[in-house]
């Protein structure tokens, strides 16, 4: 049985964003957790919500 660690997923997505890469999550729950971390770290990120999931795209000046 494989257990998904949501905290680890969010940490990996934050690292991607900090390195200038886009991040994608499929669920509302993960998107909310990711948005919380983005807010705490004051990252400049564009969020694109689609019917399939959420894209987070770093904008210039997000360092």
Taking 50 as the threshold, does the pLDDT of residue 63 lie above it?
no
Predicted confidence at residue 1, as pLDDT, reads 66
Q: What confidence tens digit (pLDDT) does each residue in 11-59 have?
A: 999 999 999 999 999 999 999 999 999 999 999 999 999 999 999 999 9
pTM of the model: 0.85
Evaluated on CA atoms 16, 17, 22, 27, the torsion sign reads: positive
> Which of 63, 56, 50 lies closest to 21, judged by CA?
56
User: When comparing pLDDT for 43 and 62, which is higher?
Assistant: 43
Predicted confidence at residue 3, as pLDDT, reads 74
């Amino acid at each position: 049985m494989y257990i998904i660690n949501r905290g680890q997923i969010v940490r990996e997505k934050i690292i991607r964003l900090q390195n200038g890469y886009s991040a994608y999550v499929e669920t509302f729950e993960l998107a909310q957790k990711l948005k919380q971390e983005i807010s705490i770290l004051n990252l400049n990120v564009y969020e694109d919500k689609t019917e399939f999931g959420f894209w987070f795209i770093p904008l210039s000046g997000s360092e």
